[in-house]
Amino acid sequence: MRSSIIISFCFANPFLTLAYDTPFAFKARPTIENRTIDDIYQAALAEGGVVTAWHGGDEKNQQDALKKAFEERFPGMTLNITVDVSKYHNGLIDEQLANGNLYVDSAILQTLHDYPRWKEAGALLHYAPLDFDKIHTSFRDIHAAYYGVNIFGWNIDFADFLDPNLRDRIVLTYPNDDDAVLYTFDLIMQQLGAGWFDDLLLQNPRWVRGSATPTSLIDQANNKGAAIFKDAPHPESTKLLHNFLISKEYLETTPRWTVRTDAPAHFPKIFDELYTNVNVFADWMADRERVERLRFWFEKQIGTPQGLSPLEDDL
Ligand SMILES: *[C@@H]1O[C@H](CO)[C@@H](O)[C@H](O)[C@H]1NC(C)=O
Ligand SMILES: *[C@@H]1O[C@H](CO)[C@@H](O)[C@H](O)[C@H]1NC(C)=O
């Protein structure tokens, strides 16, 4: 008996605080939206017409265009959107979930590793918006708990940063403050070696917080995820937002890469880009131990991020 007690003790994981293992409810099958977007709109209005979304980003007004587009398309609706860096949003959402006082309906974040975790905890609504099957399979969870909604890409020649004319004129985001920037530095340096970074430091760049700030932006290809919480206070309004986010009518307003396979012809499909693989980012983000070691490598070279949150600075 004694040995079996010891064995069960060893298997108890002190970090696993779930009361039960949600996959064994065998209830992952999503609700598939079968109403028209205008029917969802009527349901959303009847519910009160507000959706609270937390969006990753580094300037408060960064999603004003989305808010405007949504509210113009659906008069009477309010998109109550708050932008902050994803790595701050997620912890506050965890706090709400843990305390049973969730007031966020929708999370649209760069921290892609949060979504599978929230799904396992049973915190996400399994809901497929209209045209869900048009999202590329690699961008969507098979149970429609989360999916990609937008893609950012780069087209910068990184050797350009070493141009002598740019000395003292480069403004860059601390790679040890933003994982998407850290990812980009990792990609560049796996190709060009650590010497590229030494040469970059000789250019005397100015390091700032927030990737919306830099004038010489190192951009990257990655995607933001999106999920609706199971206990979202405004389910119908949130469904309306998510249907809108992946709708052709919204995505076609600006030429851009999209998570949809039926991308508008005037912009190439992301998978036709030769040097980009957006999906690598999700795996990269999930390896938190590697991310942390890399972050501290950069911190050793350039110090800890200085200054206020990018949302509070005046840059
Ligand atoms: C539409 O979906 C709802 C919820 O999943 C379901 O109850 C209903 O039967 C469906 N209606 C049709 C016409 O398929
Ligand atoms: C709008 O969002 C803020 C911040 O997330 C929240 O405190 C507030 O309660 C929301 N307002 C409504 C009307 O839901």
DSSP secondary structure letter of residue 86: H
Q: Which of 34, 39, 239 to mutate to test the pocket of ligand 1 (most atoms within 8 A of CB)?
A: 34
- Mean pLDDT for the stretch of residues 135-143: 93
Residue 73: pLDDT over 70:
yes
pLDDT above 90 as % of the chain = 60
Residue 124: pLDDT over 70:
yes
Which amino acid is located at 35 in the chain?
Answer: R
Residue 283: pLDDT over 70:
yes
- Mean pLDDT for the stretch of residues 67-78: 98
Residue 259: pLDDT over 50:
yes
- Confirm or reject CATH 3.40.190.10 for domain 21-153+222-272, answering yes or no: yes
Average pLDDT of the chain is: 86
Q: How far apart are CA 279 and CA 138, in angstroms?
A: 7
Closest ligand to C-alpha of residue 30 is 1
- Mean pLDDT for the stretch of residues 72-93: 97
Closest ligand to C-alpha of residue 78 is 2
Residues 6+ apart with CB under 8 A from 282: 112, 113, 223
Residues 6+ apart with CB under 8 A from 31: 125, 126, 127, 128
- Mean pLDDT for the stretch of residues 284-308: 95
Taking CA atoms only, the protein residue closest to ligand 1 atom 1 is 34
Burial of 173 (0-12, 13-18, 19+ CB in 10 A): buried
Residue 93: pLDDT over 50:
yes
Residue 101: pLDDT over 50:
yes
- Residue 304, ligand 1, Cβ within 6 A: no
What's the pLDDT at 209? Answer: 87
Nearest-CA neighbor of 153 among 270, 59, 63? 270
DSSP secondary structure letter of residue 209: S
- Residue 31, ligand 1, Cβ within 6 A: yes
At 273, is the pLDDT very low, low, confident or very high (cuts 50, 70, 90)?
low
C-beta of residue 232 within 8 angstroms of C-beta of residue 107? no
Domain extent listing, the chain: 21-153+222-272, 158-220+275-302
What's the pLDDT at 2? Answer: 41
Taking CA atoms only, the protein residue closest to ligand 1 atom 9 is 34
- Mean pLDDT for the stretch of residues 106-116: 96
What's the pLDDT at 174? Answer: 93
Q: How far apart are CA 150 and CA 223, in angstroms?
A: 5
Helices (H), the chain: 2-11, 37-47, 64-73, 86-99, 114-120, 179-192, 194-202, 235-245, 248-251, 280-286, 288-302
Q: What is the dihedral of CA 79, 82, 83, 89, to 10 degrees?
A: -130
| Distances in whole angstroms, Cα of residue 261 to Cα of each of 110, 145, 154, 236, 244 | 21, 19, 20, 26, 16
What's the pLDDT at 275? Answer: 60
Q: Which numbered atom of ligand 1 lies nearest the CA of 35?
A: 1
For residue 236, how far is its CA from the centre of ligand 1 (angstroms)?
A: 15
Taking CA atoms only, the protein residue closest to ligand 1 atom 8 is 34
* Tokens describing residue 58: 């580094």
Residue 221: pLDDT over 50:
yes
* Tokens describing residue 34: 């079968």
Q: How far apart are CA 254 and CA 267, in angstroms?
A: 10
For residue 279, how far is its CA from the centre of ligand 1 (angstroms)?
A: 33
Q: Residue 267: helix, strand or coil by DSSP?
A: coil
Nearest-CA neighbor of 301 among 220, 147, 189? 189
Residue 289: how many CB atoms within 10 A of its CB?
7
C-beta of residue 298 within 8 angstroms of C-beta of residue 182? yes
Taking CA atoms only, the protein residue closest to ligand 1 atom 2 is 34
pLDDT per position as a tens digit, 162-217: 889 889 988 888 999 989 889 888 988 988 899 999 999 999 999 988 766 554 44
Q: How far apart are CA 238 and CA 126, in angstroms?
A: 13
Q: How far apart are CA 56 and CA 207, in angstroms?
A: 21
At 155, is the pLDDT very low, low, confident or very high (cuts 50, 70, 90)?
low
Nearest-CA neighbor of 260 among 107, 137, 115? 137
Residue ranges around ligand 2 (CB below 6 Å) = 50, 52, 80, 82, 103
Taking CA atoms only, the protein residue closest to ligand 1 atom 14 is 34
Taking CA atoms only, the protein residue closest to ligand 2 atom 14 is 52
Taking CA atoms only, the protein residue closest to ligand 1 atom 7 is 31
Q: How far apart are CA 78 and CA 149, in angstroms?
A: 20
What's the pLDDT at 19? Answer: 66
For residue 52, how far is its CA from the centre of ligand 2 (angstroms)?
A: 6
Q: How far apart are CA 43 and CA 30, in angstroms?
A: 19
For residue 301, how far is its CA from the centre of ligand 2 (angstroms)?
A: 40
Q: Which numbered atom of ligand 2 lies nearest the CA of 54?
A: 5
Nearest-CA neighbor of 206 among 159, 263, 161? 161
